[in-house]
Amino acid sequence: MSWTDERVELLKKMWTEGQSASQIAKELGGVTRNAVIGKVHRLGLSNRAGGGTQTATPAPNKPEAAAPEPEAATAAPKPRKAEPRATPADLDTPEAVSEPEPAPRPSNVTPLRKPIVPAGQPLPPQPSANEISPEALAKVQEVEKSAKRISLMELTERTCKWPIGDPATEDFYFCGLPVQQGKPYCEAHVGVAFQPMSSRRDRRR
């Protein structure tokens, strides 16, 4: 494989977008990440600074463990706009009525309500037999039998962080199987975690 204009273009584009050399190499095909890096240097764009303000800090930008880039067709890499940021659905009440009394606390007061789950990262809920493909579900169930059953402390970047069981009980652990590169879960759990889209239609306010 040689560096045709097209390939160089794609290289430039992806590199500018912050894609890693290995990702670019994978996308291009026929080259290794070394080749990509080498080319990048020869092209003189080793520094991903676009234009202008050159921050002393190399890159606080790290699309590392949260850059789900669904591999697409090699023919049409056009609509590419996957933001790692998973925007949490925020409750927004435009119905804000002008209320001089901010807290009309009724006589009934429920003092404390601690969140049951400590919650470090936005872990997905357990698959509740939703709109998940039966195959994926079956695979998950099978996988969970062979799960490493690791504890929170044992989690690493390469261990599946899919929670199994009830966090409030002793019977709780994480999957712990090898993750799919770049993702927080193993292949099986990625399958159920990153479902394309579901029925979120019923959002009547």
Least Å from the CB of residue 147 to DNA = 19
Among the listed residues 9, 13, 17, 46, the single contact to DNA using CB under 7 A: 46
Q: How many residues bind DNA (CB under 7 A)?
A: 24
Residue 150 sits in the site that holds DNA (CB under 7 A): no
Tokens 């490493």 belong to residue: 148
**Within 3-22, which residues bind DNA (CB under 7 A)?**
3, 19-22
Select 13 or 42, whichever has its Cβ closest to DNA: 42
Residue 159 interacting with DNA (CB under 7 A): no
Q: Measure the CA–CA gap between 178 and 147, rounded to whole angstroms.
A: 10
Q: Is 57 in the site for DNA (CB under 7 A)?
A: no
Contact 24, 37 (CB under 8 A): no
Show contacts with DNA in window 97-136 (CB under 7 A): none
39/161 with CB nearer DNA: 39
Q: φ, ψ for residue 174 (rounded to 5)?
A: -110, 155
Is there a contact between 118 and 150 (Cβ–Cβ < 8 Å)?
no
Query: Which residues ranging from 79 to 98 are in contact with DNA (CB under 7 A)?
Result: none
* Cβ 52 to DNA shortest distance, Å: 19
- For 149, left (φ over 0), alpha (ψ -120 to 50), or beta? left
DSSP string, 43-80: TT--S---SS---SSS-S----TT-------SS-----
Residues of this chain that interact with DNA (CB under 7 A) are 1-3, 19-23, 31-35, 37-42, 46-47, 157-158, 181
